[in-house]
């Protein structure tokens, strides 16, 4: 009976050779990214199956949001653990003098898996966000006006504010609305020749920009307040006084929506940062375990709790 000991130690072939094996790092990073994508897709399917448009049916929105945050954290940590383990196990052990140096280099490979995975994820997010955000002004206006994407909803809060402010009082107002008389008198001929629907959309967009700018600056000027009230009075059939009251209510609602978006962004930032920090520790620890299993020739049985298993050969 011959005992097969730990894996042999390899010496560097040239002075100054790098001890970082990018092949193992990239393998772990891509594996972590693939696992994360699969788990996120699976979690989205489970979340959609748990919701229902019918009353008293399905899980509540708060419960779904909480489970979504927990699932996002757990899948990220688990994916980086797998990637770190693969990198630590696939790394070739060089001529390291102490066991502490072996553990440090194994753990560092797990940390590099985490870093490469974060860079890949950030690049994908930036590419997606770049296609959606046309200009920096649009992004700033949407964020200030609470029209930016929040963690729990994909709807635009500013649309709800404008819908409530411009809701007509009669069916005739709803089907025959046009641009305000003052605006129509000063508009060029080509602008007046456009369809009423296009003019209404432009007016609505202008009102959204005015409210977003007011929320960002913290105050709605008297001139903008009077103009918005005129548009609301023309579109909804209300008196000037009632229209000004609706404008004030809409401005308050926009500020509340912006504050909710701000709090959601803060919570999302803290949760994301905490998840990334824990993921880094998980990748480092898993790479240490992978290195221990590599050195002790432990069969890959997805058993992280086993430190050593001797191999016997006759």
Sign of CA dihedral 206, 209, 215, 218: negative
In 3D, which of 175, 155, 151 has the Cα closest to residue 66?
Answer: 151
pLDDT at 17: 64
pLDDT cut 90: percent of the chain above it = 23
Q: What is the pLDDT of residues 66-117, one digit of tens each?
A: 888 899 899 999 999 999 999 999 988 777 678 888 899 999 999 999 999 9
Q: What is the pLDDT of residues 103-153, one digit of tens each?
A: 999 999 999 999 999 998 888 777 765 554 444 334 334 433 333 333 334
pLDDT at 30: 93
- pLDDT averaged over every residue in the chain: 75
Q: What is the pLDDT of residues 214-232, one digit of tens each?
A: 888 888 888 888 888 888 8
Looking at the predicted structure, is the pLDDT value of residue 307 above 70? no
Enumerate the domain spans of the chain. Answer: 2-8+21-137+270-313, 159-251
pLDDT at 257: 85
Q: What is the chain's percent helix, strand, coil content, to nearest 5?
A: 70, 0, 30
């Amino acid at each position: 009976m011959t005992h097969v000991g730990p894996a042999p130690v390899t010496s560097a072939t040239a002075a100054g050779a790098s001890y970082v094996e990018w092949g193992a790092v990239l393998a772990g990073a891509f594996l972590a990214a693939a696992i994360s994508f699969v788990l996120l897709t699976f979690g989205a399917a489970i979340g959609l199956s748990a919701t229902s448009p019918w009353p008293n049916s399905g899980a509540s929105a708060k419960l779904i949001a909480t489970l979504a945050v927990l699932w996002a954290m757990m899948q990220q940590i688990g994916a980086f653990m797998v990637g770190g383990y693969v990198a630590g196990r696939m790394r070739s052990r060089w001529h390291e003098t102490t066991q502490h140096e072996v553990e440090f280099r194994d753990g560092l490979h797990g940390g590099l898996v985490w870093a490469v995975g974060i860079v890949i994820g950030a690049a994908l997010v930036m590419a997606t966000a770049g296609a959606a955000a046309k200009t920096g002004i649009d992004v700033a206006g949407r964020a200030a006006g609470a029209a930016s994407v929040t963690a729990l909803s994909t709807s635009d809060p500013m649309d709800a504010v404008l819908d409530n402010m411009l809701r007509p009082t009669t069916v005739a107002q709803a089907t025959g609305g046009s641009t305000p008389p003052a605006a129509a008198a000063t508009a060029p001929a080509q602008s007046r020749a456009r369809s009423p629907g296009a003019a209404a959309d432009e007016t609505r967009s202008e009102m959204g920009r005015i409210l977003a700018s007011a929320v960002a600056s913290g105050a709605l000027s008297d001139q903008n307040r009077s103009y918005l009230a005129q548009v609301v009075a023309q579109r909804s059939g209300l008196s000037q006084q009632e229209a000004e009251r609706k404008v004030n209510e809409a401005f308050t609602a926009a500020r509340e929506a912006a504050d909710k978006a701000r709090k959601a962004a803060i919570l999302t930032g803290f949760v994301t940062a905490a998840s990334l920090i824990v993921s880094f520790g998980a990748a480092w620890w898993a790479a240490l375990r992978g290195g221990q299993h590599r050195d002790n020739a432990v069969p890959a049985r997805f058993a992280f709790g086993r430190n050593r298993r001797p191999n016997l050969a006759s």
